[in-house]
Amino acid sequence: MRILVLVTGEYGQRHVENMRARAPETWEIDTWQTPHVLPPVVDYPEDYLPDELPPTDLILSLAEVKGVAELVPDIAKMTGAKSVIAPIDSVAWLPMGLARQLREWLARMDVACVTPIPFCSLTPTHTNALRLREPYDDPLISEFAQHFGRPEFKATVDEDAQQIVKLEVVRDACCGCAHFTAEKLAGAQLDDALEAAGLAHHHYPCQASMGIDPQFSDTLMHVSGNIMKDAIAEAIRPYLKVKTFKPHGRVEEE
């Protein structure tokens, strides 16, 4: 698969470095450095695009400038791309209304597009967290999401000690946070694992927005952290021992 990543700054660069380190060898990953400043409305996209871009199957927009979304349809035409992933880790970079417009523009071009909010909610079948979950059907996006998106782990546990021996990353967050978290949780007690996962996610650090998102009544960073903790909980749930408590003074009936 040929992937063109639109990068503005550190946020996108972190994702690219992790992809190049951990993506399948058959993937070709190119980047295009986006403009850092664009007008409020981009009337002539060609004024801001290079003369040529490499042939591409999938465009991954990690731009940190709102107007870049208005360039994506022209980039798809230039490259022949048939699929687009434009994550929303900050509505300042890609507002919800513009994301909806982008999906509509690309649909008219017969180009599949998903705008997962946040990026680490992407799975091979759906996008988005909580009640915003939406299914999609596109083989290229699904192939990407087999490797990068919503974190997934396989746990090796010392059941007697109730301790994590190892966490294997089945699917990484595109930024690399899942591998970082897995390393930090080796040796952790199961009872402490979720708190430790939250701390690891924070210390990586997550680059999703800290502004309150009205759809979640929470920050996207916190939503992302909860996605990470849910993934850890799923991995260790089969190994947790059920604890029962006997109220003081209770006498069992014979």
Residues paired with residue 59 on neighbouring β-strands, in sequence order: 4, 84
Domain 152-239 in CATH 3.50.70: no
pLDDT, position 247:
60
Which residue, chain included where needed, has tokens 């208005």?
70
Domain 2-147 in CATH 3.90.550.10: no
* Confidence band for 249, pLDDT divided at 50, 70 and 90: low
Encode pLDDT of 178-208 as tens digits. Answer: 999 999 999 999 999 999 999 999 999 899 9
Average pLDDT over residues 157-166: 95
The H or E element that residue 71 is part of is none
pLDDT, position 41:
84
Encode pLDDT of 45-85 as tens digits. Answer: 889 999 999 999 999 999 999 999 999 999 999 999 999 99
Kindly report the backbone phi and psi dihedral angles of residue 166, in degrees, each rounded to the nearest multiple of 5, phi listed first: -160, 145
In the chain, CATH 3.30.390 sits at 152-239
Residues paired with residue 28 on neighbouring β-strands, in sequence order: 2
**What is the pTM for the complete model shown?**
0.92
Q: 54: how many CB neighbours lie within 10 A of its CB?
A: 14
Among the listed residues 39, 31, 136, 117, the one whose alpha carbon sits nearest the alpha carbon of residue 75: 31
pLDDT, position 39:
86
Q: How far apart are CA 238 and CA 27, in angstroms?
A: 35
Contacts of 166-170 with C-beta under 8 Å, sequence gap 24+, read: 167/232, 167/235
In the chain, CATH 3.40.50.720 sits at 2-147
